[in-house]
Amino acid sequence: MITEPLQKEQGNISVNTENIFPIIKRSLYSDHEIFLRELISNALDATQKLTYLSSKGEFEGELGDLTIRVSVDKDAKTITVSDNGLGMTDEEVRQYINQVAFSGAEEFVKKYSEAKDSKDIIGRFGLGFYSAFMVSAQVEIQTLSFKEGAVPVHWTCDGSTSYTLEAGSRVERGTSIILHVDSESEEFLEEIRLKNILSRYFKFVGFPVEIGGEVINPVAPIWKKAPSGIEEKEYQDFYQTLYPYSEEPLFWIHLNIDHPFQLTGVLYFPKIKKDIDPNRNRIHLYSRQVFITDEVKDIVPEFLMLLQGVIDSPDIPLNVSRSYLQSDSNVKKISGYITRKVADKLLEIFKQDREKFEDKWEDISLFVKYGMITDEKFYEKAEKFLLLKSTSGKYYTLEEFRDFTAHAQTDKDQNYVVLYTNDAHKQDLYIKTANDKGYEVLLMDGFLDSHLIGHLERKMEKSRWARIDSDTIEKLIEKEDTEQAQSELDEPQKESLKSLFSGVISEENFRFETRAMGENQLPVVIIRNEFMRRMKEMNASGGGGGFDFPETLDIMLNTNHPAILKLAESQNAEVAKELIDLALLTQDLLKGKDLTAFIQRTVGLLG
Ligand code: ADP
Ligand code: MG
């Protein structure tokens, strides 16, 4: 076959506007670097296609070196992106570069002029090849197709709507894109700048990408391998590649699905400390190994953002904005799937190795609780492995805890009562009183625990959660058969006791009540009404409608206690004061001058 070199031709691209490129430049100002992402993506596609054809036997030549190279000529002010992929014939240039690109441009301009929010339209529109004009005064293509008898082709365009197509100079199969960088974009003539962009987007692509003689993607993407062949160490090393100098992850999940969408990835569980740091290292989203974003908020469920790692799916479109991604039905399915997988994995570890699970619980509990509060689907699964720790240090699942305590902790109306403390130190006395009754108290002192309690309470039938100091123990779990012996005091005596106590306390937000409790309980007990306290807590965290609830402390006078009985006779104000102060101490409410006065008075008693 005799092949003639291409005759020079010039032509006009049939678009209705002369000024596509100024629009592209201006509108994409903040995102100029994506030109490189687009050109390398094209180079990768061309290389991928060639290896595919080769594997099918449709290309029989040598594949040779498939490295994609980026080079900068500072003097000539050019950037060249070059690949050894399948190249283009002149026909293909006419079809794919002139027609497709420029008809795309037309559509772009149309949409741009209609869109209210330019960012929105830009995000949704893949600029592809001609994003090159974002940084270039002129763009050249030198290409030679792999096809037998193909001749090299040279295409140039200066950003107007006319192009030149002529015989090219390329001698090896593949394509070079030469950008003549415009004066406003000279920052991109710095190799380091380009290298950073390349490392950001192409760290894990399947063909070597080289700049300044250095390959920027030496590490293979672990998520592309079959999980069965990967050692623990590899997962850990890969984690360090993603997040250098991080603490070891706790464990990880290898995601691998073909149907109903394709998705691969590895999610790591990092150690999550007491609270949630929004600036932590985040999940990286990839499409065919090309980085898309680590701004995954609203794409994956919020609680999953506490995890780290990589998600890769060709079903996540490359050239779209975040607002588009959020409403994309594939993306929704994907996030539902990941949620399920994560829950399944946790359940698996829980079932296979309860000890390991308990060991790591402190580190993952925040994640699990956050998930349960915010994601119904996750709740349904996590219900089985949520661990609750009692003040005795033992871990229970919800079901185990109920089995263990329901017998003792069901009140006369058949309500199951869960007793908890949010501060085992401050509420020690109350815990002890409950333990003495044979009750088990849960330690709920985590960052999200007060939210979780509200949530669990709504889910659990005929149950009530009560903080251990929210009432006296007989009232927390009221029993028919444990009626206290009636107090020996009559009504006038009780009234005079109350006024005696009110007289020794200066503040007003106290309410006194007499109550027949056990003799072994303190003479005076302060309780904090569960409902009022929760309203106050909700207010503090921004809920509750802004109404400020003054918290009234209820002070219970134990009319079965000898000290109170004696006081009813003696009406000794000093003793009353001492008893109140002791009660305040148990709640860590005795402070400052009052505390000093109490100590001095008490020391005085001993002298
Ligand atoms: P897309 O990549 O979405 O198809 P582009 O505007 O990026 O859109 O590219 C248009 C077409 O130009 C590609 O589909 C491809 O046929 C051709 N092309 C672009 N770059 C190359 C390249 N480096 N090698 C071979 N063909 C290319
Ligand atoms: Mg492209």
- Atom 3 (ligand 1) nearest CA: 128
The stretch 290-299 carries a mean pLDDT of 80
CA 99 to ligand 1 centroid distance, Å: 12
Per DSSP, which regions of 474-591 are E strands? 510-515, 524-527, 553-558
Instruction: Determine the Cα angle at 98 with ends 96 and 101, to 5°.
Output: 70
pLDDT at 487: 67
pLDDT single digits (tens) 430-483: 999 999 999 999 999 988 898 999 999 999 888 999 999 999 888 899 887 655
Which of 13, 59, 95, 96 has most ligand 1 atoms within 8 Å of CB, for mutation?
Answer: 96
- CATH assignment, 222-354: 3.30.230.80
Hey, whose CA ends up nearest to atom 14 of ligand 1?
96
Query: Strand 284-287 to strand 251-257: parallel, antiparallel, or no bridges (unpaired)?
Result: unpaired
Q: Which two tokens stand for residue 499?
A: 């006024």
Ligand 1 centroid–CA 81 distance in Å is: 13
Classify residue 298 by burial, with Cβ atoms within 10 Å: 0-12, 13-18, 19+.
Answer: middle
Question: CA-based diameter of the chain, in Å?
Answer: 125
H/E segment holding residue 381: helix 376-382
Nearest residue by C-alpha to atom 1 in ligand 1: 128
Residue 39 has φ and ψ, to the nearest 5°, of -70, -40
Query: Which tokens is 448 given?
Result: 């999200």
Question: Pseudo-torsion of CA 454, 532, 549, 512, nearest 10°?
Answer: -170
Provide the edge-to-edge strand list for the sheet that holds 416-421. Answer: 441-443, 416-421, 463-467
Residue 546 has pLDDT above 70, yes or no: no
Distance 39 CA to ligand 2 centre (A): 7
Q: How far is the CA of 45 from the centre of ligand 1 (A)?
A: 8
End-to-end CA distance of the chain: 120
Cα 563–566–570 angle (5° rounding)?
130
Q: How many CA atoms lie within 13 A of 50 on its CB side?
A: 28
Handedness of CA 249, 251, 255, 256 (dihedral sign): positive
Which residue has the least CA distance to atom 16 on ligand 1? 96
Residue nearest to atom 12 of ligand 1 (CA): 96
The tokens 């030679």 sit on which residue? 144
The larger pLDDT score, comparing residue 316 to residue 521, is at: 521
Distance 560 CA to ligand 2 centre (A): 84
Residue 33: which of 190, 236, 268, 239 has the closest Cα? 190
Cα 500 from Cα 492, distance rounded (Å): 12
Rounded to the nearest 10 degrees, the angle between the axes of helix 354-374 and helix 329-352 is 150
**Beta-carbon contacts of residue 383 (< 8 Å; ≥ 6 apart):** 372, 398, 459
Tell me which CATH code domain 388-476 carries.
Answer: 3.40.50.11260
Lookup result for tokens 């004061």: 577
Reported as a pLDDT band with limits 50, 70 and 90, residue 85 is very high
**Which of the residue ranges 92-101, 395-404, 581-590 has the most confident prediction, judged by mean pLDDT?**
395-404
Question: Tens digit of pLDDT for each residue in 122-169?
Answer: 444 456 787 888 899 999 999 999 999 999 999 999 877 788 999 999
For ligand 1, the distance from its centroid to the CA atom of residue 282, given in whole angstroms, is 31
Comparison of pLDDT for 193 and 282, the residue scoring more: 193
Residue 316 has pLDDT above 80, yes or no: no
What band does 34 get if pLDDT is binned at 50, 70 and 90?
confident
Q: Contact, 536 vs 457, CB < 8 A? A: no
CA 42 – ligand 2 centroid, Å = 5
Task: Tell me the C-alpha distance between 198 and 44, whole Å.
Answer: 13
Q: What atom of ligand 1 comes closest to residue 92's alpha carbon?
A: 16
CA 126 to centroid of ligand 1, rounded, Å: 12
Nearest C-alpha to atom 18 of ligand 1 is from which residue?
A: 42
CA 3 vs CA 99, 169, 170, 274: distances in Å: 25, 15, 15, 72
Res. 274 pLDDT band, cuts 50 70 90: low
Identify whether 221 is preceded by a cis peptide bond (ω within 30 of 0): no
Query: What pLDDT, on a 0 to 100 scale, did the predictor assign at position 23?
Result: 60
Tell me the pLDDT tens digit for each residue of 217-261: 999 999 999 989 899 999 999 999 998 888 899 889 999 888 878
Q: How far is the C-alpha of 222 from the C-alpha of 535, rounded, in Å?
A: 49
- DSSP per residue, 318-342: TT--HHHHHH-HHHHHHHHHHHHHH
Which bound ligand lies closest to the C-alpha atom of 127?
1
Q: Which residue ranges have their beta carbon within 6 Å of ligand 1?
A: 38, 42-43, 46, 83, 85-88, 96-97, 100-101, 126, 128-129, 175
Smallest CA-to-CA distance from 174 within 93, 97, 87 is with 87
- Whose alpha carbon is nearest atom 15 of ligand 1? 96
State the burial class of residue 580 (Cβ atoms within 10 Å of its Cβ: 0-12, 13-18, 19+). buried
Distance CA(595)–CA(590), nearest Å, equals 5
Structurally, at CATH architecture level, domain 491-606 sits in: Up-down Bundle (1.20)
| β-strands 308-312, 284-287 pairing | parallel
Residue ID of nearest Cα to ligand 1 atom 19: 42
Select from 41, 95, 108, 129 the residue to mutate for testing ligand 1; criterion: most ligand atoms less than 8 Å from CB.
Answer: 129
Among all ligands shown, which has an atom nearest to the Cα of 46? Answer: 1
Q: For ligand 1, atom 4, which residue shows the shortest CA distance? A: 128
Higher pLDDT, 278 or 579: 579
Position of tokens 């994995």? Answer: 345
Tokens 């741009």: give the residue. 112
Query: From residue 605, how far is each of 334, 524, 566, 571, 599 by CA, in Å?
Result: 71, 20, 18, 18, 10
Report domain extents, the chain: 9-215, 222-354, 388-476, 491-606
What fold does the segment set 9-215 form as a domain? Heat Shock Protein 90 (3.30.565)
Both structure tokens of 115 = 């869109």
Q: List the residue whose alpha carbon is closest to atom 11 of ligand 1.
A: 96
CA dihedral 461, 462, 466, 472 (to 10 degrees): -170
Mean pLDDT of the chain: 86
**What is the whole-number distance in angstroms between the Cα of residue 38 and the centre of ligand 2?**
5
CA distance 509 to 375: 40
Please tell me the distance between residue 88's alpha carbon and the centre of ligand 1 in angstroms.
9
pLDDT over 70 percentage in the chain: 85
User: Which tokens hold the place of 334?
Assistant: 């994907």
Percentage of the chain exceeding pLDDT 90: 52
* Cβ neighbours around 414 below 10 Å, total: 7
> In the predicted model, is pLDDT for residue 54 greater than 90?
yes
- Match 């909700």 to its residue by tokens: 538
| Per-residue model confidence (pLDDT) at position 482 | 54
Q: Which ligand has an atom closest to residue 85 CA?
A: 1
In single-letter form, the type of residue at position 79 comes to I
Helix runs in 406-547, H state only = 428-436, 449-459, 473-476, 491-503, 530-540
Q: Of all protein residues, whose CA lies closest to atom 17 belonging to ligand 1?
A: 96
Distance 187 CA to ligand 1 centre (A): 25
CA of 177, closest atom in ligand 1: 23
Which of 312, 318, 315, 288 is closest to 131 using CA atoms? 318
Tokens of 132: 């090159």
Cross-strand partners of 396: 388
Mean pLDDT across 298-327: 76
DSSP state of 460: S
pLDDT (0 to 100) of residue 325:
65
The ligand 1 atom at the shortest distance from the C-alpha of residue 126 is 3
Categorize the per-residue pLDDT at 118 as very low, low, confident or very high, splitting at 50, 70 and 90: very low
Please give the average per-residue pLDDT across 190-219, as a whole number. Answer: 95
Instruction: Say what the pLDDT of residue 134 is.
Output: 85
- Joined together, the tokens standing for residue 403 give 């089995």
